[in-house]
Every structure is written in structure tokens, then in C-alpha cells.
Copies of this chain bind each other. A is one copy, B any other.
Amino acid sequence: MASLDRTLIANLPLFSGLKPEELDALLSEAQSVRYPKGVTVFHQDAEARAFFVLLHGHLRVFKLTPDGQQVVVRFVVPGEVFGVAMAIGRTVYPGTAVAVADSIALQWPSAAWPRLAAAHPELANNTLQTVGARLQDMHTRVVEMATLEVERRIAHALLRLAQQAGRKVETGVTIDFPISRQDVAEMTGTTLHTVSRILSAWEARGLVESARQKITLRQPHQLMLLAEGTG
């Protein structure tokens, strides 16, 4: 663990409220693992043998339907806990996580969760906040899918991605991990064709710039008006 940035780790939400010696004890049980771009961290329905904190990189988490269709659940960004199936009472992973960029994660055996959570109640409390925030995100997504036309849903989805993982660049705010039009389609419950049509129209208006696996918001404020139905 010596090679990892200790200060960075101490500031992660999962470890909020832990004393330095508690964090040391926790980290002494963690394993640091590299996941090169394209590698699967865990598979849907596989035994949930570990839980993780992402230190570096980005993951794409998706669910496969019995019909073989894929739906992106979310992207995991550095600092986030993930794979906490055990903590929420499940024995298998509910989705598949794939590294979309070279990534590094800390991992602990799931079997250690009950003991660690008992010894450090902050762990359960902090995980509860993360899972609660994800639940709110999913509520938002369901409400948008049920009530908004597709153009507004796509605008909301891009703005949320920019908020989660935006990086300022000369031309605006770029989403700082590889994201495809197909991903955006799955996140908004529409087709690749529709996403392509709308992004092309936005591109013509100078609102966004999109290349292969790359989306940049050139006019986030204008996109916000669109999302709110006033653009």
C-alpha cells in the first residue's frame, strides 16, 4: 500500500469519519489491483467475492437482460465504492463491471464485510449514503424516462455525466471517459439511431462535439435550458 497516495485515500467518502489508525487497519487488509482498459472486473450473477474502491480510471457497469440486451447502469468514477453486493444482502453481483480506461482499485474480500462494518460503523453509514445517492439517481432516471421526451432525457444524461466526470477543456466540458452513443442510448431508454440524430443536430447548432467514444459539451448552459424544456 506504500505506493498509493495516503492523503488521497483518507479523503474518500467511504473512509469519512475513520481515525488514522482505523484506516491503517482497513488498508492493511486491502489488495490493490490493476484493471487494464477492456478488462472485466466482475461478471453479473458471479459470486460477489470482493468489494472495491476505485482509485484511478473508469468503469462501465451494465446489466444483461435474459433476451441478451445490454443496459448501462452507471459509470464508476475514482473515489467510489462499488461491488458492495454483500453489504446490501446479495451473494452475487447484480451487473457486470468493465474498465473503460486503465484502472486501479482497492479490494477487500466480501466475507470480511460483516466484521469490518461491525468494527468501523462509519463504513456502513458511508456506504448507505452512496447507495442512497445511487437510488436517487435511479429515481431521477425513471422519472425522466416516464415523463420527458427523448431529447430532454439525453440532455439530462449528458449534464449528469459532465457533473460526475467532467473536465474543462478549451472548447467546453468534456466527459472524461470513453462513452459511446450506444451507452447514451442505453442510459436514456432510446435507440442508437435516435441518439445519433439528436447529437448530430446539436453538433450542427454548436452545442456539443462528439467523436468516437468522446463527448464534449460546448455550451452546457444552453443544454441545461434544453433539459429543462426551455431551450
Pick the interface stretch among A134-142, A169-177, A206-214: A134-142
Q: Do residues B138 and A139 form an inter-chain contact, with CB atoms below 8 A?
A: yes
Q: Which of B95, B118, B133, B147 is the one whose CB lies under 8 Å from A71?
A: B147
A131 to B145, CA, bound (A): 21
Main secondary structure of the interface of A (DSSP, over half): helix
Complex contacts, A228 vs chain B, CB 8 Å: 66
Q: Which of B71, B89, B143, B148 is the one whose CB lies under 8 Å from A132?
A: B89
A227 smallest CB distance to B (angstroms): 10
A146 within 8 Å of B by Cβ? yes
Q: Which of B67, B133, B143 is the one whose CB lies under 8 Å from A229?
A: B67
Complex contacts, A124 vs chain B, CB 8 Å: 121, 124-125, 128
Interface residues of A in 191-231 (CB under 8 A from B): 228-229
By size class, the interface of chain A is 35 or more
Residue with the highest number of chain B CB atoms closer than 10 Å, among A89, A117, A128, A229:
A128
Decide: A65 near B132, CB < 8 A? Known: A71-B142, A124-B125, A142-B141: no
A164 within 8 Å of B by Cβ? no
Decide: A129 near B89, CB < 8 A? Known: A139-B73, A189-B145: yes
A7 within 8 Å of B by Cβ? no
Interface string of A67-97 (1 = CB under 8 A from B): 1010101000000000010011110001100
